[in-house]
Structure 1
Amino acid sequence: MLEARQLSFHFSPDAPLFDSVSLTLNAGQWAGLSGDSGAGKSTLGKLLAGYLAPFEGEVSLDGKALPKSGVQPVQWLPQSPELAVNPRWRVGKILREAWTPSNAQCQTFGVQPSWLSRFPQSLSGGELQRVCVLRALAPEVRFLIADEISTMLDPITQLELWQALKREAEQRQLGVLVISHDSSLLERLCPQRLHLSGGQLNPW
């Protein structure tokens, strides 16, 4: 179980982004998170994955603090995949930084063998996002924070990516938090949906 208790975060002392936010994500659960631009959705996602530390409150995995080293069991996937990779590394090395997926696993996410010897800037946004999603699925990973990962993709690529991720999550009982402005996407994917607004997290 991934649990956030009473999280507070602010970029300046007199302007809290949110205060006393709590949520729980169980193994195999899909939850959606919506909210206006600037409400703090991505920040909350980074807190859940350990990329940021809260000013108050705590994030725990099965009652313990997130690990400080190694492949992290909670992975945050950003909207812009080019920001998540080293542009000087070839795609094969980018994948192997976390784990070495099989040929079948690469095929599931549409990652072509020819891409492995290329640099990330030579791939399209949709191709690179497939690589980043696959990289985030190392065996140690138990929860994914998918932060607008299909916003910039064409409809066919969106469908293929979510279908592949849904199958993988069901097989491994991964918990997934889907952050998106697209309410119809959240309704299709997530039985539980939350809305972050005015510093508060509420069901919708």
Structure 2
Amino acid sequence: MLEARQLSFHFSPGEPLLESVSLMLNAGQWVGLSGDSGSGKSTLGKLLAGYLTPQVGDITLDGAALPKNGVQPVQWLPQSPELAVNPRWRVGKILREAWTPSDAQCEAFGVHAHWLSRFPQSLSGGELQRVCVLRALVPGVRFLIADEISTMLDPITQVELWQALKREAEQRQLGVLVISHDEALLKQLCEHRYHLSAGLLKRI
């Protein structure tokens, strides 16, 4: 279980972005998170994945602190995949830095073999996002924080990506936090949904 307890976080003194936020995500569970732009959704995602440190409260995985070394069991997937890759590396190296997926796994996520010899800037945003999602599924990962990952995709590609991720998550019992403005998408994918507003998290 991934658990955040009484998290508070601010970038500027006296202006809390998150205030006493608590959230639990179990293995195999899909939870949705919505909120206005600037409400702190991505910040909460980064905290859960260990990219940021809460100023108050704590985040635990099965009751222990998140590991600082080795394979990170909580992977954060940002909306802009170009920010998550080294532009000087070819796509094949970007994938192999984390792990080497099988041909079947590449096919399931629409990652074509001829992409592997290309640089990330030669792929479209949607193509690169497929690569980043596949890279995040490194053996040992247990939870995914999917932060607006399908925003730049056309409707058909969105469906294909989420279907592939659903199958993989079910097979491996991955817990997934889906951050999105799209309430219809969250209703379709998630068992439980939360809304973040004015620093407070409410179940909807």
User: Scaled by the length of structure 2, what TM-score is found?
Assistant: 0.99
Q: Distance in 2 between matches of 1:117 and 1:53?
A: 36
Which residue of structure 2 lines up, in the alignment, with residue 150 of structure 1? 150
How far residue 13 of structure 1 moved from its aligned partner, in angstroms, is 1.2
Coordinate RMSD, CA, aligned: 0.5
Q: Distance in 2 between matches of 1:29 and 1:66?
A: 19
* SS class of match (1:149): coil
1:27-106 matches, cutoff 5 A: 27-106=27-106
Deviations 1:102-153 (A, max 9, x none): 1111111010010111000000111100000000001110000000000111
* SS class of match (1:167): helix
Q: Distance in 2 between matches of 1:155 and 1:198?
A: 31
Residue 20 (structure 2) pairs with residue 20 (structure 1): yes
Gaps of 5+ in 1: none
The aligned amino acid for 1:86 is N
How many residue pairs match? The answer is: 204
Identity %: 82
- Deviating 4+ runs (over 2 angstroms): none
* SS class of match (2:10): strand
* SS class of match (1:45): helix
Q: Distance in 2 between matches of 1:108 and 1:201?
A: 34
The aligned amino acid for 2:88 is R
Which residue of structure 1 lines up, in the alignment, with residue 131 of structure 2? 131
User: Scaled by the length of structure 1, what TM-score is found?
Assistant: 0.99
How far residue 198 of structure 1 moved from its aligned partner, in angstroms, is 1.1
How far residue 70 of structure 1 moved from its aligned partner, in angstroms, is 1.6
1:117-128 matches, cutoff 5 A: 117-128=117-128
Gaps of 5+ in 2: none
Deviations 1:51-79 (A, max 9, x none): 00000111110011111112210000000
How far residue 18 of structure 1 moved from its aligned partner, in angstroms, is 1.2
